[in-house]
Structure 1
Amino acid sequence: MDEIRCRKDTPPLIINFDKGEFEINCNNPLFEALNRVHVNEYPVIIWITERADYDVFLDEYAGYL
């Protein structure tokens, strides 16, 4: 949490999008720390494996990209 407060370089969260659901694949301690210091925006990498999931993701969230 100290690194986040000091704005040190921290890795992005890796999020999997599968069957319309988001799941954190790694960095769960980082996610917890971000919540504890009330960070509302943070870089993420969204991992999508299947083309159908990609199409759903674009339909639902393309406006946020």
Structure 2
Amino acid sequence: MLFLLAALAPMAQARLPAEWRNSSAAEQAQDAVAFAGLDQAIREDSPDVQSALSTLTGIALEQGHLA
């Protein structure tokens, strides 16, 4: 499964619309509130999802999409 996610990640990135913008600080704060506790729930209840998210985060960091 991880191999499939790793293979699909670059294709997904290539299809992002050029007109997408970065979110404002206020929007990012809303996202943080909306997803609060989700990471803990994933770690406890869905180790496969945690593994996939870790892999995708690593790919995004490696490609410079996250700082």
- TM-score, normalised via structure 1 length: 0.30
Q: Indicate the structure with greater strand content.
A: 1
- TM-score, normalised via structure 2 length: 0.29
